[in-house]
Amino acid sequence: MKKPFLVIITATLLSFSLLGLSACGNSQANLSGEKKEESTAKAESSKGEEAAEKKDASGELLVSTFGLNQDIVESDIIKPFEEVNGVKVTLEVGNAAERLTKVESGSSNVDVIELSQSGSTKGYTEGVLEEVTEKDVPNLASLSDEAKQVYQNGGGVPFSINSIGIVYDKEKVGHELKDWADLWSSDLAGKIAVPDITTTAGPLFLSVAADKGGKALSEDKGEAAFKALEELNPNIVNTYSKSSDLANMFQAGEISVAVVADFGVSTVQKADPNAEYLVPESGTYANFNTVNLVKGAKNKENALKYINFRISAENQAVKAKSLTEAPVNKDVQLKDDEVKTMTYGAVAKRAKVVDFKLVNNNLKDWIDQWNKILNQ
């Protein structure tokens, strides 16, 4: 705001020389004032730019994530990140496939998206997700060897691992199950449920079937796996897409055995307290949930901070206990009573990494074959 000023006119007549001197003096003062104003303007502009940079650095972040346990996610992941970094996080939650589709179509402005390994692999293949480096995300150095393998193969930055096993009611089955091959036993006819091919666990179980058929998926694009599924078909009552559906089948006595992802075991055991969980010594197959930088992210700096925070040992330990998400940071140490059914320790060591580029490239054909064998 300009300050008002007062002009005082005196009755005294000044000489022309004095007037000239005054004029000259005012000219110098004006010149000095202009320089001062210019210097002040530059300083204020510089301060403004610094303030803008600080605002960008501590501003906002839009994260697209799964809709499960949102209250725990906000208290144990989002709030701690906000407090440490001075960032306001907004969550977009929902179905992973739908969230990825929005990013692919350009109709989403999220900075970070959390997906299963299949989804993130698809996103990187299509070029809508941006690769990060250890310089951007220092905690990449602390990932487990298996998690690093996923990251290095273009599957995203893993923040948790899950795997499949066998859940069964030993009393109803009448004997102990020990290995995947036991599922093909004739005494289990009409007693088994398996995850649908379109679920996260579906391709993992198809990998098990490939082992039973004697050839890895990469060797014959699943031919041996589907022959093994045909042999298993008499034992399969149903396929399922949700853990809740599986629990209902156990509770109703429709099945007594199922192939299940580790995070679904507790739901089944609530429905059938006699249900036991087994991860065969011969091994299992894993899925990694990943956190990814969206290409062209508006808040890229904050996004990189979030990814680094998500895989830090401190936060990995917290979420392992509250969300039962198995850590992928090798510096995290859990107690035996904290592990429960998580893919951790000995189980994690025998969990094999799935090539989801191969899965995604063949999934359409595999869905057709799957439906012809199991869903007709």
Question: The whole model's pTM is what?
Answer: 0.83
Residues 6+ apart with CB under 8 A from 204: 163, 164, 195, 261, 284, 285, 286, 287, 354
**pLDDT (0 to 100) of residue 375:** 85
How far is C-alpha 96 from the chain's CA centre? Answer: 10
The residue assigned the tokens 């959390």 is: 114
Query: Contact 217/206 with Cβ under 8 angstroms?
Result: yes
Give the DSSP H/E element, type plus range, for residue 243: helix 243-251
The residue assigned the tokens 């391709």 is: 203
Strand partners, 112: 63, 293
- Can you tell me the distance from the alpha carbon of 121 to that of 273, in angstroms, rounded to the nearest whole number? 37
Residue in 112, 191, 123 with CA at minimum distance from that of residue 159: 112
Q: Could you report the per-residue pLDDT of 323-375, keeping only the tens digit for each?
A: 999 999 999 999 999 999 999 999 999 999 999 999 999 999 999 999 999 98
Query: Contact 278/183 with Cβ under 8 angstroms?
Result: no
Give the DSSP H/E element, type plus range, for residue 223: helix 223-232
Query: Contact 296/129 with Cβ under 8 angstroms?
Result: no
The list of the chain residues with pLDDT below 70 reads: 1-58
Query: Contact 348/160 with Cβ under 8 angstroms?
Result: no
Give me 324's structure tokens. Answer: 């039962």
**pLDDT (0 to 100) of residue 207:** 98
- Can you tell me the distance from the alpha carbon of 307 to that of 291, in angstroms, rounded to the nearest whole number? 6
**pLDDT (0 to 100) of residue 19:** 34
Q: Could you report the per-residue pLDDT of 63-92, keeping only the tens digit for each?
A: 999 998 999 999 999 999 999 999 999 999
Phi first, then psi, for residue 149 (nearest 5°) are -60, -45
- The per-residue b/e assignment along 74-109, b for 16 or more CB within 10 angstroms, e otherwise, is eebbbeebeeebebebebbeeebeebbebbeeeebe
- Can you tell me the distance from the alpha carbon of 245 to that of 263, in angstroms, rounded to the nearest whole number? 14
Residues 6+ apart with CB under 8 A from 268: 167, 243, 246, 247, 250, 258, 260, 275
Give me 59's structure tokens. Answer: 């501003």
Residue in 353, 201, 169 with CA at minimum distance from that of residue 271: 169
Give me 298's structure tokens. Answer: 């508006």
- Can you tell me the distance from the alpha carbon of 97 to that of 104, in angstroms, rounded to the nearest whole number? 10
Angle at 342 between CA 337 and CA 345, to 5 degrees: 80
- Can you tell me the distance from the alpha carbon of 322 to that of 300, in angstroms, rounded to the nearest whole number? 28
How far is C-alpha 376 from the chain's CA centre? Answer: 34
**pLDDT (0 to 100) of residue 328:** 98
Q: CA-CA distances (angstroms) from residue 334 to 266, 288, 290, 319, 329?
A: 19, 19, 21, 11, 11
